[in-house]
Amino acid sequence: MKLGKIISMVGGDGEFSYQRMGVLQASAIKRLEPLMAEAVKQMSLPKQVPLHIADFGCSTGRNSISYMNFIVKCIIDRYLEADENNGHVTCMPEMLVSFMDLPGNDFNNLVQLLASEAKNAKDLAGSVNGANVGRASNYFSAMMGGSFYNRLLPKESMHFVISTFSLHWMSQIPATLTDKSSPLYNEGRSWILGGNPTIAREFAQQSMLDLDNFLDSRSAEMVPGGIVFASFISRHDAANPENQVNPECHHYVSLGPDFENAWNDLIDDGVITTETRDTYNLPMYCRSKEEVEAAIIKCGAFDIQYLQSPVDVNVCPEDELMRMLQFPKSFATFLSAWVRAMSGPSIEANMGRHNTDELFIRYQRRLRARATSLLSDCKAQQEYKIFTFTVLHVALKRNVFSTYSNQ
């Protein structure tokens, strides 16, 4: 099943919208600023040409605009520093920021946010020794709907590319996994977490093809010396792709047993059939560092500036989580809405709005029951890492040796 037209975050600003529920991702992205700044330092500065930046996976925009403003500031600082070292001031190139996501993305919300930013932003254009140094944060912007697993931009037109918390989403689900006659039919679950290793390896093959296509496409679009910075959900266990998170932590994660059992409740209540559940597969695969490194080497167009080992990132402070757990109902309401903001559109495309509502009602019940069971167990509360994710950060520099591919 190809997902380009159906997978997206929930748009608008309603109860389940990513606009409201992306607050935890915003916390994680804020921590990336030192790595973003370091990536900008590795970029070769163009002279007297428009400087083109792109975000692949911008979603509904608020988080994307925030880190784009930061990146633009870092680039401005680099030009100012270069001018000081050279002893003179030159005009800073105009900047174009392209916001990219799948066609189903809520670009209207992004447009409104950009318009609000432009209206309220202070004019940061200034002068150094009386000379104009550029437009500062008033960059030009553009939007494009398309899969970042394909070519989206002209050859050698990009200077800095960023993708945050997007590359773990897949371009499609292998057809064998939803074919009832196939030995790889993913029966009895909605994801590969803790499931059949053979089926997980099928996911892995599709995920590696996706990453190959992403790197080949960016290699054609990047200028020599351009930078790709990416941060996405990863995993520690390189050998066993079914261990999308640590096996001992399966019951802690938001898409673990509580989520799977909510599907079972839906079937037990006669709302959907088992086939409806089995033909849905969460289109997400957490790559290991080894898988990512192998794809970069295979591409051959990039030099690795840094490729960190996966790190566990807690996007919600522990004291805040402890406070939330004291109120099981509100905790369950928040967490189910947060998961729905990310996974809801693909589930809804599979079984409709009503059944999706019913699924998250049952998921919310299970989350409330779990939080209630934790009230009297302080140790279990501390071990409940529901908002902790394994994340991989990578920065790549387009080298000058490889030839343009025909992507």
Low-confidence residues of the chain, pLDDT below 50?
1, 3-6, 8-11, 16-17, 122-137, 405-407
User: pLDDT tens across 380-392, in order?
Assistant: 887 787 888 899 9
- What is the rounded distance in angstroms from the CA atom of residue 112 to the CA atom of residue 106? 11
Q: What is the pTM of this model?
A: 0.88
CATH class of segment(s) 18-242+282-314+390-398: alpha beta
3-state SS assignment for residue 6: coil
Which of 222, 110, 241, 229 has its CA nearest to residue 166? Answer: 229
| Extents of the domains making up the chain | 18-242+282-314+390-398
The answer to whether residues 384 and 254 touch, using CB atoms and an 8 Å cutoff, is no
d(CA 316, CA 332): 15
Q: What is the pLDDT of residue 247?
A: 64
Q: What is the pLDDT of residue 16?
A: 44
Rounded to the nearest 10°, the torsion over CA 253, 256, 259, 262 is: -140
Q: Which helix (H) or strand (E) holds 183?
A: none
Q: Do the Cβ atoms of 252 and 390 come closer than 8 Å?
A: no
pLDDT at 81: 86
pLDDT of 124: 41
